[in-house]
Amino acid sequence: MRRTLLCLCFVSVVLGCLPVSSQAASRIKDVAAFEGVRENQVYGYGLVVGLNGTGDRSQTFFSTQTLANMLERSGITINPDRVRVKNIAAVMVTAVLPPFTRQGSRIDVTVSSIGDAQSIQGGVLIMTPLRAANSEVYVSAQGDVALGGYSAGGVGNRVQLNHPTVGRIPNGGLVEREVAVELSGKSQLRLVLNRSDFTTATRAARAINEKSGPGVANPLDGRTIEIKVPSDYSNRIIEFMSVVENATMDIDVAARVVMNEKTGTIVLGKDVRIAEVSIIHGGLSLQVGTTFNVSQPTPYSIGGQTAVVPEVNISVKEEKGQTVMLREGSSVEEVVRALTSIGATPRDVIAILQAIKAQGALQAELEII
């Protein structure tokens, strides 16, 4: 058991963090996107056939119902209650439709088993319509499923590599309908930042005005920038958008400490500051164990019996506490050096950081993932 004693305040800690500047020059296209120019998600329900006995079993009744419906459309009528096949699997097919994708273009699709199939390795997806949120069909998918892994063996003896019930079909989706994005003739555009920040929005508008002229860009809030298309670009809207997205600016990053309790990883930026603190770090190790000894009777004894005698061992070891002083406004480098000198581990610090944030001594946003 490790005990950590905190005196006055504490400090933030870094594990595997490189000091980076809070103002990093970036292109606008890396931190923002034009409103309306986005990807669209599509999905559909389908059937994978040709499996080698690794498909859905009798518990998944809807796969046989799907097979019966498919055969009926081909002029073959069967009773799904009397069908027992193991070479088919019911799947969900998903894909992302990029912006400006034209009819006849091909995209990758992902195939995921939704029944109790053991593997969809070697299967073929039968033509599946993929719909968007408006229930309209935009893509049709079909093709051989590629897993990048395998699953082999029987019950109790199985060898598996990667995930055998999810696969991809490269270029397996054929675009049937385009998502309309009309840009010609626009007099105004809107730019949406990936992360809301008033400073970054102001700097982005300033960078656009420096490139295109004063009064072109105006920030509406911490995430949205309204852009007026100059008259020189009225017939060259795409060229103007290229000019805008390639403008460079210094983005502003808020002071933030990110902690992962699962792995014990703690990462913080260079702008993270602390108040003047005093740290006392010590450890207390307590071990309690039981050893079972066997007691044998003396030779030729009458009525003697063999007995098990438990022997309890307790050992306590307390390490000498170490004290470190840090001045107010210490940098990341000073924090890391101080914590390393006292032997603090990331897991020791996570619980303390939460308490320090509640106290208000940590001048940064605390995020736990």
Instruction: Count CB atoms within 10 A of the CB of residue 22.
Output: 14
Q: What pLDDT, in 10s, does the model give residues 42-71?
A: 999 999 999 988 888 877 888 888 888 888
Residue 358's pLDDT band (cuts 50, 70, 90):
confident
Specify the pLDDT at position 67. 86
Per residue in 77-133, pLDDT tens?
A: 888 777 778 899 999 999 999 999 999 999 999 999 998 888 998 999 999 999 999
Q: What is the pTM assigned to this prediction?
A: 0.66
Q: Mean pLDDT, to the nearest integer, of 191-208?
A: 92
Whole-angstrom distance, CA of residue 265 vs CA of residue 317:
28
Tokens of 46: 């389908």
The pLDDT value recorded for residue 366 is 80
Confidence of residue 273 (pLDDT cuts 50, 70, 90): confident
In the chain, CATH 3.90.76.10 sits at 23-37+182-252
**Highest mean pLDDT of the ranges 176-185, 276-285, 337-346:** 176-185
Is residue 308 predicted with pLDDT exceeding 80?
Answer: no
Give the model's pLDDT for residue 284. 46
The percent of residues in the chain predicted with pLDDT above 70, rounded, is: 69
CA distance 246 to 248: 6
Residue 210, pLDDT > 70, answer yes
Angle between helices 237-245 and 198-212 (to 10 degrees): 130
| Whole-angstrom distance, CA of residue 275 vs CA of residue 10 | 8
Report which residue type is found at 64.
T
Cα(115)–Cα(21) distance, integer angstroms: 49
Can you give the pLDDT at residue 269?
72
Residue 319 has a pLDDT of 60
One-character DSSP codes across 42-95: EEEEEEEE--SS-S--TT-HHHHHHHHHHHHHTT----GGG---SSEEEEEEEE
**Which pLDDT belongs to residue 64?**
85
Task: Give me the phi and psi of 146, to 5 degrees please.
Answer: -110, 125
pLDDT score, position 97: 94
CATH class of 23-37+182-252: alpha beta
Asked if the model's pLDDT at residue 171 lies above 80, the reply is: yes
Residues in the chain: 369
DSSP string over 273-303: EE-SEEEEE--EEEEEEEEEEEEPPPTT-SS
Answer yes or no: is pLDDT of 233 > 70: yes
